[in-house]
Amino acid sequence: MNILLTNDDGYKSRGLMTLRDTLSKKHSVYVLAPASNRSAVSHCIKMSEPLELVCINEEKNIYSCSGFPADCVISGVGGLFPKIDCVISGINYGANIGTDIIYSGTCGAARQGSLYGIPSLAVSVEHPAGYMAREEEYEFQAMADFILENLEKLVSYTQNLGDKRAFVNINGLSLPEYKGMKEATEISIRDYGDQIRLEKTEKGYLSHFIPGRSKTLGGENCDYRVARDGYVAVSVIASDPGTI
């Protein structure tokens, strides 16, 4: 299988490289990831300037991109690499559950892949200590092994949907092993508790973003609770907007 691998943490991310090295055991992996951290950019696309695609390692097919995660998918699928059979975005530092999906560049890349009709996955790992944990404290190998071992099944979730387009959102804790996989039939709701502090200037104001302590709500089978119980939470997310 030809796999396009990207993320929103940047091409140097340990989560990305762990997944690349693991998937390469059985598949042809092509990496096109942002040149720097692009977290929380959602589905942003650069349209007003050309993108710079830099070859980092020709032998391993690793490239960086001056754009955003969705740009990486557009350029990778659009001609940089051979025909892509699957797009995988991750492994991301931190969860992308519930309301996170709206803001996530990781999910934005997977969504872009699904819009091309390519089976696409967004993969994220949350440390039990949350954002207080350092990057080097994250465990990625168990999730990478899970993706390798279950790739065909995960891809199948986006098939036989008729006219509907969707991507698979995958989350787990930073653990050496998982209890198994559970389908999360409900996505959680995140209340981030963020605040804004305004600072007066000569021209107007500076708006300072102050992260809050998030609260997560949802039922027993929501993505948050499934992951917190030590399972890999798998959710199928609609890619196209719809009405209620």
Count CB-CB contacts under 10 A for residue 56. 15
Lowest mean pLDDT among 31-35, 196-200, 212-216: 212-216
Query: What is the model's pLDDT at position 84?
Result: 98
Query: What is the model's pLDDT at position 23?
Result: 98
Nearest to 33 by CA among 83, 90, 82: 90
Per-residue pLDDT band for 187 (boundaries 50, 70, 90) equals very high
Segment 182-211 mean pLDDT: 95
Per-residue pLDDT band for 132 (boundaries 50, 70, 90) equals confident
**102 SS3 class:** helix
Task: Report which of residues 134 and 204 the model is more confident about.
Answer: 204
| Alpha-carbon span 11 to 167, nearest angstrom | 22
- CA 46, distance to chain mean position in Å, is 19
Exposure of 89 in the CB half-sphere (CA atoms within 13 A): 37
Lowest mean pLDDT among 53-57, 231-235, 239-243: 239-243
Tokens of 156: 């199948």
Give the mean pLDDT of the chain: 95
Enumerate residues 6+ apart whose C-beta is below 8 A from 9. Answer: 15, 16, 33, 34, 37, 38, 39, 92, 93
| Alpha-carbon span 74 to 98, nearest angstrom | 25
Percent of the chain with pLDDT over 70: 100
Where would I find the beta strands (DSSP E) of the chain?
A: 2-6, 28-34, 53-57, 62-65, 86-93, 120-126, 166-173, 181-183, 189-191, 195-200, 205-210, 215-217, 232-238
203 pLDDT higher than 90? yes
Whether the model pTM is above 0.85: yes
Tokens of 118: 């390519």
Query: What is the model's pLDDT at position 130?
Result: 76
| Alpha-carbon span 65 to 212, nearest angstrom | 31
Query: What is the model's pLDDT at position 14?
Result: 96
Tens-place pLDDT, residues 135-155: 889 999 999 999 999 999 999
